[in-house]
């Protein structure tokens, strides 16, 4: 191919248009019907073969699907939005109040569509097949990745590697980062229900106060992580909501809390959860109350494959220079790309979308999140470069 950066710059306006169309029409997890239609329309115009999986997911193929070598790689872009009221003031902001692309999935989809156009135009130069996976429901359990895998997205042909990129507003535009090994955490949701006996505030001895139990569990949780895990293994336990009581002079019958546990090791996660349940019940027993705990298991950790990591690294350095690639620390956020990484060698990496001034640069999941669109052609170029590196004749 001729200079990849030149090619992506030539179609940059199209990539930006894709992003703005998807951004202004956001849809929640498992409801991405119009987004799916738009992506299919673009693929039809490019004469790219595809099929719909799981109602709103799409898998497209470019290259020789009947290749005897079965030389196939895959790229994934998530397409769902978040239940956020957008507050960016953009001319192309969300048309649906209460729904917003606040995590960059519109950027991810647009870059993959841009790469699709370039790869299709150079299809005869590909020694194998590129699978483009437009995945629904990254933001909601059980995760669109899991469902698409169960419905055969990685079959016929099966990719030997898969890649995905994610916007990072903390990184300058033009820069990329990732890690060899653990990159995103395993997660679970924890829900406590503490059952006591309500009574008058002036007569606490006639009841059992669930608020005192909740307070003790919260206090205990702060030391729990430091005392029941290997200090060399990262883990975070956060209790983020507590609800109890209706008046200033009544002890309630019940208190509810919710939180999350994050680790990079599923065995560590399971061990900590077992201990946490046991200790919380014992704390409740001290106050003659009961503590029910519901655990909703989230995504497993994302573990990057060493070979796939090296391909991202060398492709980035070759295209943009060594100064624009860095090895980052793993993040405690979760990603259902983990399910893909559990099936085949994978690399999940971050693309810089930082805006030049702080007053318009906001974090992921913010109502003011406004990624720098200058990153679109850059991210598209790297997708194409990775495909060219692996599938060059």
> Helix, strand or coil for residue 208?
strand
Is residue 66 pLDDT above 80, yes or no?
no
Q: What percentage of residues in the chain have a pLDDT greater than 90?
A: 92
- Number of other CB atoms surrounding residue 277 within 10 Å: 16
* Residue ranges per structural domain of the chain: 4-183+302-391, 186-297
- The yes-or-no answer on residue 299 being catalytic is yes
Tokens of 205: 């001895």
pLDDT digits (tens, 9 = 90+) for 183-208: 999 999 999 999 999 999 999 999 99
Q: Write phi, then psi, for 49 (nearest 5 degrees).
A: -70, 135
Is residue 227 pLDDT above 80, yes or no?
yes
Tokens of 373: 């669109």
- Number of other CB atoms surrounding residue 142 within 10 Å: 14
Tokens of 30: 């498992």
Sign for the CA dihedral angle at 27, 31, 34, 38 comes to positive
pLDDT digits (tens, 9 = 90+) for 108-127: 999 999 999 999 999 999 99
Superfamily of domain 4-183+302-391: Zn peptidases (3.40.630.10)
Catalytic residue chosen out of the listed positions 38, 299, 349, 362: 299
- Give the contacts of 37 (CB within 8 A, at least 6 positions apart): none
Is residue 22 pLDDT above 80, yes or no?
yes
Catalytic residue chosen out of the listed positions 32, 117, 254, 373: 373
CA 7 to CA 343: how far, in whole Å? 33
CA 22 to CA 94: how far, in whole Å? 9
pLDDT digits (tens, 9 = 90+) for 161-172: 999 999 999 999
**What's the topology of domain 186-297?**
Alpha-Beta Plaits (3.30.70)
- pLDDT of 357 reads 76
- Number of other CB atoms surrounding residue 377 within 10 Å: 21
Tokens of 377: 């052609």
Range 163-182 average pLDDT: 97
* Mean pLDDT taken over the chain: 95
CA–CA distances in Å: residue 32 to residues 92, 153, 220, 246, 391: 18, 18, 42, 39, 31
- pLDDT of 371 reads 96
Q: Write phi, then psi, for 159 (nearest 5 degrees).
A: -65, 145
- pLDDT of 1 reads 54
The string of DSSP letters for 210-253 reads HHHHHHHHHHHHHHHHHHSS-TTS-EEEEEEEEEE-SSTTEE-S
Beta-sheet strands, E only, within the chain: 49-53, 57-63, 72-78, 129-135, 161-172, 176-178, 182-184, 186-195, 199-200, 235-244, 250-251, 254-263, 290-297, 302-303, 325-327, 346-354
Range 281-296 average pLDDT: 97
- The yes-or-no answer on residue 373 being catalytic is yes
- Give the contacts of 66 (CB within 8 A, at least 6 positions apart): none
- Give the contacts of 247 (CB within 8 A, at least 6 positions apart): none
Give the residue from 106, 165, 83 showing the smallest Cα distance to 335. Answer: 165
Q: What percentage of residues in the chain have a pLDDT greater than 70?
A: 98
């Amino acid at each position: 191919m001729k200079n990849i950066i030149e090619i992506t710059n030539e179609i940059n306006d199209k990539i930006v248009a894709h992003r703005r169309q998807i951004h202004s029409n956001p849809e929640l997890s498992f409801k991405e019907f119009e987004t799916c239609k738009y992506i299919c329309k673009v693929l039809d115009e490019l004469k790219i073969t595809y099929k719909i999986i799981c109602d709103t997911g799409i898998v497209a193929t470019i290259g020789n699907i009947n290749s005897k070598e079965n030389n196939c790689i895959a790229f994934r872009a998530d397409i769902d939005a978040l239940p956020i009221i957008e507050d960016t003031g953009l001319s192309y902001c969300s048309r649906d109040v209460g729904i917003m692309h606040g995590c960059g999935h519109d950027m991810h989809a647009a870059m993959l569509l841009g790469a699709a156009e370039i790869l299709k135009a150079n299809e005869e130069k590909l020694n194998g097949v590129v699978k483009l996976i437009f995945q629904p429901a990254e933001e909601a359990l059980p995760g669109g990745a899991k469902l698409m895998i169960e419905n055969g997205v990685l079959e016929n042909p099966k990719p030997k590697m898969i890649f995905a990129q994610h916007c990072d507003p903390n990184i300058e535009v033009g820069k990329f980062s990732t890690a060899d090994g653990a990159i995103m955490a395993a997660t679970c949701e924890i829900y406590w229900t503490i059952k006591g006996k309500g009574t008058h505030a002036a007569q606490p001895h006639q009841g059992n106060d669930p608020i005192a139990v909740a307070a003790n569990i919260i206090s205990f949780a702060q030391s729990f992580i430091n005392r029941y895990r290997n200090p060399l293994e990262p883990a975070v336990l956060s209790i983020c909501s507590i609800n109890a009581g209706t008046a200033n002079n009544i002890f309630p019958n019940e208190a509810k809390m919710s939180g999350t546990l994050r680790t990079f090791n599923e065995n560590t996660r399971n061990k900590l959860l077992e201990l946490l349940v046991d200790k919380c019940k014992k704390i409740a027993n001290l106050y003659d109350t009961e503590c029910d705990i519901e655990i909703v298991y989230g995504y497993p950790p994302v573990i990057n494959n060493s070979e796939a990591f090296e391909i991202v690294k060398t492709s980035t350095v070759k295209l943009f220079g060594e100064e624009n690639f860095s090895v980052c620390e793993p993040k405690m956020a979760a990603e259902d790309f983990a399910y893909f990484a559990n099936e085949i060698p994978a690399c999940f990496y971050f693309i810089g979308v930082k805006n030049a001034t702080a007053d318009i640069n906001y974090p992921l999941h913010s109502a003011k999140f406004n990624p720098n669109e200058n990153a679109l052609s850059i991210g598209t170029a790297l997708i194409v470069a990775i495909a060219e590196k692996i599938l060059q004749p």
